[in-house]
Amino acid sequence: MSTGGGIPKHSDLKTPLKRVRGWGSSKSGTHHFIVQRITAVALIPLVIWFVWFVIGLSHADYANARMMLHQPIEALLMIVFVAAAFWHAQLGLQVIIEDYVHVTWLEITSQLLVIFLCVIGAVASILAVVKVALA
Amino acid sequence: MDNSATPVLQQTQRPMSPHLGIYKWQLTMTLSILHRATGVALSVGTILLVWLLIALAAGADSYRTIHMFCISPVGLFLLAGWTWSLFFHLCNGIRHLLWDIGWGFEIPRAYATGWTVVVLSFVLTLLTWFLALRGGAA
């Protein structure tokens, strides 16, 4: 704020660093970005496995389908896939809502709804997988 | 043009940046929009995934119900759409991750990877359905 020399107008004696600290994306702003990338990287092999699993399901009757998910590795991968997928979905939908929904109550409501639905979807899926896996 | 007249109107009619309505459609912006659209579609598609897993846990009758839905015309249409959405989002997501590590920002390369994503998404979709329908779906 020293352009032109002399005392700047409206000076409150704060340094530029003091002014910016605690605002915007300082400290925690990259957390969303990083978790979105971590889940994205995890989902690359998981999605390939999931497609392979569903192709297998398309050739299976109910008993065989249950047996497929009963395998420990398959159950583990399905749980990890579901967790990563819902986490990634919540992060992505959050950004879309932030970008396009500008009515405050509607934005907060839809953000909460997305979080609640993702948590319920993930927990319900995991419970179902555990039930099959431990049967 | 008279510069002194209607300054407010002139100001509001000035094009603003990024504005979908004034740009010529290009591959790169189309893929960017499709990445979001497929992301939303896949989020909705998780409902079917949850249904599938619950049906598997619930019993043969529940599994038959979701099976009948999946092989119905509406079910097959949705599954085909979700298959392509999944592969598009996967391939374009890898393209985004490559950008994140600083690779592929040059315009020709952005177009080359873009077309690769388009072709791969359809090839992988067809391959998946070929493998699923091979020998008749159960």
Report d(CA A51, CA A56) in Å as an integer.
Answer: 9
Tokens 């960017």 — which residue?
B32
Residues 6+ away with beta carbon under 8 Å from B43: A89, A92, A93
pLDDT at residue B15 in the model: 62
Least confident of A81-85, B24-28, B70-74: B24-28
| Numbered residues of chain A with Cβ closer than 8 Å to any chain B Cβ | 37, 40-41, 43-44, 47, 51, 54-55, 57-66, 69, 78, 82, 85-86, 89, 92-93, 96, 121, 124-125, 127-129, 131-132
Helix residue ranges, H only, B16-106: 27-58, 60-70, 73-100
Fold that domain B26-132 belongs to in CATH: 3 helical TM bundles of succinate and fumarate reductases (1.20.1300)
CA B129 to chain A, closest CA, distance in angstroms equals 8
pLDDT at A89 over 50: yes
pLDDT 10s digits, A3-47: 555 555 556 788 888 877 777 666 677 889 999 999 999 999 999
pLDDT at residue B136 in the model: 54
pLDDT at residue B109 in the model: 96
pLDDT at residue A39 in the model: 98
pLDDT at residue B126 in the model: 98
Domain boundaries of chain B, sorted by first residue: 26-132
pLDDT at residue A42 in the model: 98
User: Between 3.30.70.120, 2.60.40.10, 3.50.50.60, 1.20.1300.10, what CATH number should domain A29-134 receive?
Assistant: 1.20.1300.10
pLDDT at residue B11 in the model: 59
Please tell me which residue of chain B has the smallest CA distance to A131.
B57
Query: Which of B70, B93, B73 has the alpha carbon at shortest distance from A37?
Result: B93
Predicted-complex ipTM score:
0.85
pLDDT 10s digits, B37-95: 999 999 999 999 999 999 999 999 999 999 999 999 999 999 999 999 999 999 999 99
pLDDT at B137 over 50: no
pTM of the entire predicted model? 0.84
CA A68 to chain B, closest CA, distance in angstroms equals 10
Put simply, the answer to whether A61 touches B138 (Cβ < 8 Å) is: yes
